[in-house]
Amino acid sequence: MVTLNKPTQIEEPNKRHRASGKSLSIIIKAFKKSIVLILFVLLWELAPQLDFVDKTFLPPFSEVILAWWDLFITGEIWRHFEASILRSLFGFALALVIAIPLGLLIGWYPLARELLTPILELFRNTAALALLPVFILLLGIGEVSKISIVLYACTWPVLLNTISAVKNVDPLLIKSARSMNISSFKLFYKVILPASVPTIFTGIRMAGTGAILVLIAAEMIGAKAGLGYFITYSQYNFLIAEMYAGIITIALLGLLINYGLSGAERYFSRWKQ
Amino acid sequence: MEKIKFEKVSKNFLVRDENKKGAQREFTAIQGIDFSVKEGEFITLVGPSGCGKSTLLDLLTGLTSPTKGRILIDGREINGPGLDRGIVFQQYALFPWKTARGNIEFGLEAKGIPKKEWQERTDYYLDLVGLKNYSDRYPHELSGGMKQRVAIARSLAFNPDVLLMDEPFAALDAQTRETLQTELLRIWKKTGKTIIFITHGIDEAVYLGERVVVLSANPGTVKKIIDIPLNNRLADADIKSNPAFVKARHEVWSLLHEPEYQGAHI
């Protein structure tokens, strides 16, 4: 009994010590993560208040938040947010539907890959925004041109990553599956496809970032709604606090999309270390 | 009973010519391989690098075919991959997105085994390799030795007649390797499979094989086939001190270290 009791007696304080250490480390971690953000907001608040910068061009953070709240209450910001997120999601989803199957096909057939890679590289390395005037000329300034430019910008990273994913599947896995005498079709969807998922997702995340960037720029040039339009509109009408409110909303939109995509990536790549 | 028969098998490849730019030349990987493997036999192939071990294995899997000669299994010529042969690779070749169970089921599905039998079979073979409690682990959650156990279970589960093993323990640490060697002997006794085991370890070849095929390099040919007169491998804990083992080991060693091969395995 004595020998049995002893270890438990030793363990008890140990455990408690570890538990308190754990909660402390959580606080430290939270502090490390938030301190620079808090300082940034403080700087934004104080620099205009203390006249380090011109209040007219950079209103204090609190004013921007109040402006944002007003826009939120009236539903104004939501209208623009909705317009932007619908366009980006639509263009993004279309890009996935087109680029993933196409990339799988091109990656699987070496001849297609060799023929198409040069032109794909050319398109990929042409900044999408440089083509914006072309899109507007051809498709007007309506929804079609904006969704198209998002579609265009999202297609390349997804397409090229899918092609390289298929090309770079571990040959040993293919050999192992082939030695089990499975059909080419099964090899494709049971081995090539799952093995490609992580690399495809890298492309999808790149596309997610690109979608917002290109969309906002397109909305700034020609649109009647959307966050890009709202920002330029506010600037032209000297609604500076509102303009910053729009920028904050874009940041939130970007974070939201990135968060969603990382979650999806973690889910689909959960077998990776 | 003759299970596998090599009939004067040669394999040539086209390789880049080092002397002439852009030109190709013929390279003979293996030449005139001619021997048979008995049903239920455990045979090991040992040789220096360049002796065509991998070429031989690819021929056996049916992923490539010989330039000359033929390989017969049960009297029928190999003409492609088939599930009468199970293969265990040095680098495991497990599908990383599938759990241990999923990997084994992959082979069962390929063989067309009814789905209702999968659970029972998978459980049986996981138990056989000592991984009963690891069925839901992904490969990255397993150690090297465990991964190789899963790979062995996967190859056994679809019940092939022949197990082909390509340096399966070469990537493992010495202790794990020794454990798995013993386990493999136990599994072989229990399942009665014909096993062709490729290695470059002399001790491993002598310990596992009833016969050891000693290969020589450039081109790969059979130098000699040595009978290993040990029949109590699992009973004798320190069989490597057994005079018969020592003698056989020395013979293999001498064959591999004859002057003509000096420099072949730097």
Give the burial string for B60-93 (b: 16+ CB within 10 Å, else e): bbbeeebbebebebeeeebeebbbbbbbbbbbbb
Q: What is the pLDDT of residues B199-250, one digit of tens each?
A: 989 999 999 999 999 998 888 889 999 998 887 788 777 888 888 889 999 9
Mean pLDDT value across chain B: 89
The mean pLDDT value for A202-225 works out to 89
Mutation for testing the B interface, residue in A170, A175, A176 having most B CBs under 10 Å: A176
Q: What is the pLDDT at residue B242?
A: 86
Same domain, A32 and A137: no
Does residue A192 have a pLDDT over 70? yes
Q: What is the pLDDT at residue B259?
A: 62
Q: What is the pLDDT at residue A6?
A: 35
The beta-carbon neighbor of B61 closest among A173, A179, A190 is A179
With H, G, I as helix, E, B as strand and everything else as coil, classify residue B151: helix
Yes or no, beta carbons of B140 and A197 under 8 Å apart = no
pLDDT-derived band of residue B260, with 50, 70 and 90 as boundaries? low
Does residue A221 have a pLDDT over 90? no
CA angle B2, B5, B6 (to 5 degrees): 160
Instruction: Give percent helix, percent strand, percent coil of chain B, each to the nearest 5.
Output: 40, 25, 35
Q: What is the pLDDT at residue B263?
A: 52
Q: What is the pLDDT of residues A101-116, one digit of tens each?
A: 999 999 999 898 889 9
Same domain, A92 and A211: yes
> Which B-chain residues 58-77 have CB contacts (< 8 A) with chain A?
61-63
Same domain, A115 and A17: no
Residues of chain A with pLDDT > 70, as a percent, come to: 92
Predicted model pTM: 0.80
Structure tokens at A92: 């993004």
Q: What is the pLDDT at residue B136?
A: 92
Does residue B15 have a pLDDT over 90? no
> Which B-chain residues 227-266 have CB contacts (< 8 A) with chain A?
none
Same domain, A45 and A120: no
Residue B134 CA to its chain's centroid (Å) = 25
Same domain, A49 and A75: no
Q: What is the pLDDT at residue A11?
A: 39
Yes or no, beta carbons of A172 and B81 under 8 Å apart = no
Mean pLDDT value across chain A: 87
Q: How far is A272 from chain B (nearest CA, A)?
A: 7
Q: What is the pLDDT at residue A5?
A: 37
Q: What is the pLDDT of residues A154-177, one digit of tens each?
A: 999 999 999 999 999 999 999 999
With H, G, I as helix, E, B as strand and everything else as coil, classify residue B24: strand
Q: What is the pLDDT at residue A168?
A: 92
Q: What is the pLDDT of residues B97-112, one digit of tens each?
A: 999 999 999 999 998 8
Same domain, A35 and A168: no
pLDDT-derived band of residue A273, with 50, 70 and 90 as boundaries? low
Residues of B in contact with A176 (CB under 8 A): 87, 89, 93
Looking at the 3D structure of chain A, how many domains does it have? 2
Q: What is the pLDDT at residue A19?
A: 57
Residue of chain B minimizing CA distance to A191: B95
Going by C-alpha positions, the residue among B9, B26, B8 that lies closest to residue B17 is B26
Task: Give the structural domain span for A266.
Answer: 61-272
Does residue A15 have a pLDDT over 50? no
Identify the helix (H) or strand (E) that includes residue B60: helix B53-61
The beta-carbon neighbor of B81 closest among A181, A190, A197 is A181
* Residue after which a domain boundary falls, among A42, A58, A74: A58
> Can you tell me the distance from the alpha carbon of B147 to that of B170, in angstroms, rounded to the nearest whole number?
13
Does residue A13 have a pLDDT over 80? no
Q: What is the pLDDT at residue A248?
A: 93
Q: Which residue has the higher pLDDT, A268 or A238?
A: A238
The mean pLDDT value for B156-185 works out to 91
Mutation for testing the A interface, residue in B73, B95, B159, B165 having most A CBs under 10 Å: B95
Same domain, A13 and A121: no
Same domain, A68 and A45: no
> Which B-chain residues 137-156 have CB contacts (< 8 A) with chain A?
138-140
* Residue after which a domain boundary falls, among A20, A40, A58: A58
Residue B127 CA to its chain's centroid (Å) = 22
The beta-carbon neighbor of A182 closest among B62, B110, B138 is B110
Same domain, A110 and A181: yes
Same domain, A38 and A81: no
* Residue after which a domain boundary falls, among A40, A58, A76: A58
Does residue B21 have a pLDDT over 80? no
Same domain, A38 and A72: no
Does residue A8 have a pLDDT over 90? no
Same domain, A80 and A44: no
Q: What is the pLDDT at residue A99?
A: 95
Does residue B193 have a pLDDT over 90? yes
Residues of B in contact with A197 (CB under 8 A): 97
CB B72 within 8 A of CB B1: no
Structure tokens at A232: 């330029």
Residue of chain B minimizing CA distance to A196: B97
Residue A224 CA to its chain's centroid (Å) = 25
- Which CATH number belongs to the domain containing residue A124 in this structure? 1.10.3720.10
The mean pLDDT value for B50-74 works out to 89
The beta-carbon neighbor of B93 closest among A172, A190, A271 is A172
The mean pLDDT value for A81-90 works out to 91
CB B141 within 8 A of CB B96: no
Please give the C-alpha separations between residue B170 and each of A146, B49, B212, B235, in angstroms, as whole numbers: 57, 13, 17, 25
Q: Which residue has the higher pLDDT, B127 or B237?
A: B127
Yes or no, beta carbons of B96 and A272 under 8 Å apart = yes
Residue of chain B minimizing CA distance to A170: B93
The beta-carbon neighbor of B91 closest among A172, A180, A271 is A172
Residues 6+ apart with CB under 8 A from A84: A212, A215, A216, A219, A226, A227, A228, A250, A253
The beta-carbon neighbor of B83 closest among A181, A194, A271 is A181
Q: What is the pLDDT at residue B48?
A: 85
